Chain A
Amino acid sequence: MNREAMREKLPILITAVVLVALYIGAGLQFDRFFSLRVFMNLFADNAFLGVVAVGVTFVILTGGIDLSVGSMVGCSSIMSAWLMQHAHLHPVPALGIPLLFGVAVGGIQGYLVSKFDLPPFLVTLGGLFFCRGVALRISRESLQIDHPFFNSLASFAIPLPGNASLPVASIVFLLVVVIGMFVAKQTNFGRTVYAIGGNKASATLMGLPVARTLFLVYVLSGLCAALGGSVFTLYTSSGNAISGTGLELDAIAAVVIGGTLLSGGYGSVFGSLLGISILGVVQTAITFQGTLSSWWTKIVIGALLLAFMLVQKAIEGAASFRSGGASPASSN
């Protein structure tokens, strides 16, 4: 393989192999792990995280980071719940208004990052505080949602054979992944995102709309995070201001495990789907195991994250060795 193809394909290949190995390993270990029902639950349980991770993938592809997504999930979920339970809005606008809020917050962040060249880390840290503050201001207590239309929407599922079903959360997740893959690979916007992550200066010199694309990337991430909040609301039928705490890190972990380089330029939405699936398999396997406590999930995810970062580093090192030592991304 040449250097570019190797950087592009090898991480995702390794991710896929690990995913299959983990899945088969868990399946051999535990009875009924291989059922379609368990497989579908992998997606349903992590659908909201997945929707968030798609947006985060774009941000990371540009070489940025978005820390605000976790609290945006909490904010979106409590906002929907409050609009339904206290403002007595119909579920459609109640689920839609938080999306506008996500676009607005993402837009402000994108404006600050793209116009003033501020560090994304700090700007989105501001977003994290802001969204959590707004969420807690709306309601400190979690709100149970009870609305006939909402209930039927939340329990909507496409029945599948083997006592399995594809619930609305998973449907939204898969749609977002497909749209994300299309946007990343098939549109000018997506190509510009990769170009910015590869080398911002040359992207500017090529005449690509760098500032506008950066702005839109954060808008997209805000929208995905708010949508993730809506999915979470549908999944739990309630709103909670502190939900999504630390979710930004799970999302970043999933994206990195999915083979996207944090320095930007290399990676894919499909990889993030694989990353989410790995997190899902680990979680489910630990639940199946029964005696291991849930905190093992965190340790295993940490270990996986380390392994994947080392693999990425090795690939980068090998690639730069072949091309004579010049690797632009490993200057740090």
Chain B
Amino acid sequence: MRLPSWGWALLVLVLVLAFNAAFTPGFFGLEIREGRIYGSLIDILNRAAPVALLSLGMTLVIATGGVDLSVGAVMAVAGAVAASLIARPSGNPLAGIDLGGSIPMIVLASLAVALACGYFNGILVSLLGLQPIVATLLLMVAGRGVAQLLANGQIVTFTEPGFQRLATGSFLGLPNPVWIVAAAFGAFSLLTRATALGLFIEATGSNPVAARYAGVNAKRIKQAVYVLSGLCAGIAGLILTADIQAADANNAGLYLELDAILAVSVGGTALTGGRFSLVGSMFGALLMQTLTTTILTRGVSPEITLVLKALIVVVVCLLQSPVFQQRAARVLRRAQA
């Protein structure tokens, strides 16, 4: 039997959870306080939310054969816009805009800016035909500059319970970010599996020339996935900003683009484009966070997480590499003979 592409991610996730079941007391403990569920598992779901959101958009981008390095910076931009619009500190370039303190308007405005960032990436990749790595590198470098410009070079802090609820509130016992991820996952699944968009994305990624002959407008598909990725990054940025009640243009979402790419490739989507798995990316994001939480709860120094991540990248790459599979098969055959 052949494993689904996300089989490895799920297997490792189960192994890590099994390890915790055996060695970390109380890891699976859940308790309900004030109508809200608490516990390590919920904590993992909650903390995995930003990377999970990023990896949804990233999955589609990678499936078209591209990559979006700018998502971390776009998170910072969205956060800076939201925080500036809420706090409106004097001297801030956005201080003159009065949305009447309406949270939905502020959220919409921030997401619009994130969408614009994604649109910009899309134009560079689809219309101008630039390599995705370089095209998105641009916004990755300049985006943090723009975020600092919008925040006037300061860490903008605010107190706005309505906005904070986005990250700290809960619904039916589960934290809001978990619901946001679930909704985004549902929307993306519908969009790609209930419509032909998923097929078009896979066609664009596996063979752009053939896709064009088959009548797929590859340019528009590419444009669309970068916009979606920008939107996901915007939502993730808002969650992060609401969580810490501040927008830090330098550090918000730093290196999260790499975590998202890692989650996507661990989840079985090949970086070369073509077939993708949104479920796999979710497992990938959960695996990353489960590892981090495991290391923290076991009191191992957190730097080890980075080394572990490095090992996972290499192992997953090897497992997916045809050359390695052939060699491993040869070694196995020799061992049996």
Contact = CB atoms under 8 A, between A and B. Distances in A.
A156 interface: no
Nearest to B305: A133
Interface string A225-260: 000000000000000000001000110110010000
B271 A121 contact: yes
A303 B318 contact: no
Contacts of A293: 148, 153
B323 A136 contact: no
Interface stretch (A88-96, A141-149, A175-183, A305-313): A305-313
Q: Interface size for chain A: under 10, 10 to 19, 20 to 34, or 35 or more residues? A: 35 or more
Contacts of A262: 131, 133-134
B306 to A, nearest CB: 3
Interface of B: 65, 67, 124, 128-131, 133-135, 137-146, 148-149, 153, 208-209, 249, 254, 258, 261-262, 265, 271-272, 301, 303-307, 309-311, 313-314, 317-318, 321-324
A7 interface: no
A322 interface: no
A54 interface: no
B310 A122 contact: no
A116 B318 contact: yes
28 contacts: A112-B317, A118-B317, A119-B271, A119-B317, A122-B262, A122-B317, A125-B261, A126-B317, A130-B306, A133-B306, A133-B307, A245-B254, A252-B137, A262-B133, A295-B144, A298-B142, A298-B148, A299-B145, A301-B142, A302-B138, A302-B142, A302-B143, A303-B142, A309-B124, A309-B134, A313-B129, A332-B65, A332-B129
Contacts of B306: 129-130, 132-133, 136
Nearest to B147: A295
Contact of A295 (B148, B258, B311): B148
A84 B298 CA distance: 32
Interface in A110-162: 112, 115-119, 121-123, 125-130, 132-134, 136-137
A121 B133 contact: yes
A126 B306 CA distance: 9
Nearest to B153: A293
Contacts of B67: 121
Given A295-B149, A296-B145, A118 B321 contact: yes
A7 B138 CA distance: 22
Contacts of B142: 298-299, 301-303, 305
A301 B249 CA distance: 17
